[in-house]
Amino acid sequence: MPITASRPPHARRRRKRTGWAGLLYIAPAMALVTVFFVIPVLFTLWMSLHRWPLLGAPSWIGLGNYTRMVTDARFFTALGFTAHYTVVVTIAIFAVAFPLAVFVEKQRPLVSAYRTIIFLPVVVGLASASLLWVWLANVDSGLFAPLLEALGLTRGRVNLLATFDTAFLTIIVMVVWKIAGFTMIILLTGLQAIPAELTEAARIDGARRWQRFRHLTLPLMRRTLALALILSITGSILAFDQFYIMTSGGPQNRMISVVYYIFNQSFVSFNLGYGAALSIALLAILLAISIVQLWLLRVGDERP
């Protein structure tokens, strides 16, 4: 009959003390998450089940706000515009950030200055950046309109925020200018994590630059690319400041993002219950993206 050795009492006590110490270490973080995330989310969920006017007592309507959401054409229009904006701005950010990361990854004269200059717009708040670009796009006192006229690209001074196409392009350029430096830093860490021996061995074996990039750099940067992609997509879905400040949802209300629409329903139309339901729907979308993020970070990590 096999003899099972029992754990000594002092070892059990030490393990129990270690467990309590671990709980004490994470208690402040758990308290912050509970107060500033869990409780607000639960309260928002409770609000979404009511008709909640700004003035007057709320009334229980169950899933009425969610039923209204399904038939709300303006919500789906805002969702479609947000998806379109997310795709365009994410591609634009990566198209700029990846070459910049490759450029500043190599040791060259003044490379630290290049990194600092490229990263500087990141420290500017998005609202401040939007106000700055509103001034730059101003027809009379701005920079872009007279510059485009001087270069012969436009006939006279053009208001870049007056039409959908030019306003959308202006916002895309502003966001890329603002965010590309942050994405560049994330991609730079992935590039610097690639062992130089692997790149040198591939070069000695005759692999060309594109072959090394496709078969060596991209696979080894998979986790970094997934992280940068998810951060970019999440930030784009939550876009509000640039549309509110630069165009006020125009022209012709064609630049109303999901967050902008939630803002209008909650604080302009004072439908706080319906705005809460829209917020829960947006949270579900972001949760689905987080699940995709975890899947992207795990793909290829399985071991046979």
pLDDT at position 63: 92
Cα–Cα distance between 191 and 44 in angstroms, integer? 41
267, part of any domain: no
Q: pLDDT tens-digit profile of 239-291?
A: 999 999 999 988 888 999 999 999 999 999 899 999 999 999 999 998 898 78
Q: Which domain holds residue 109?
A: 86-255
110, part of any domain: yes
pLDDT at position 14: 62
Structure tokens at 300: 């290829």
Contacts of 177 (CB under 8 A, 6+ apart): 121, 129
pLDDT of 6 higher than 70: no
User: Confidence band (pLDDT; 50, 70, 90) for 303?
Assistant: very low
Q: pLDDT tens-digit profile of 287-301?
A: 898 788 778 766 655
Here the CATH number for the domain that contains residue 233 is 1.10.3720.10
pLDDT of 205 higher than 80: no
User: Confidence band (pLDDT; 50, 70, 90) for 19?
Assistant: low
154, part of any domain: yes
Cα→Cα distances 138→141, 156, 217, 287, Å: 6, 13, 43, 39
211, part of any domain: yes
Cα–Cα distance between 99 and 230 in angstroms, integer? 19
Number of structural domains the chain divides into: 1
Structure tokens at 194: 């690639």
4, part of any domain: no
118, part of any domain: yes
209, part of any domain: yes
pLDDT over 70, % of the chain: 91
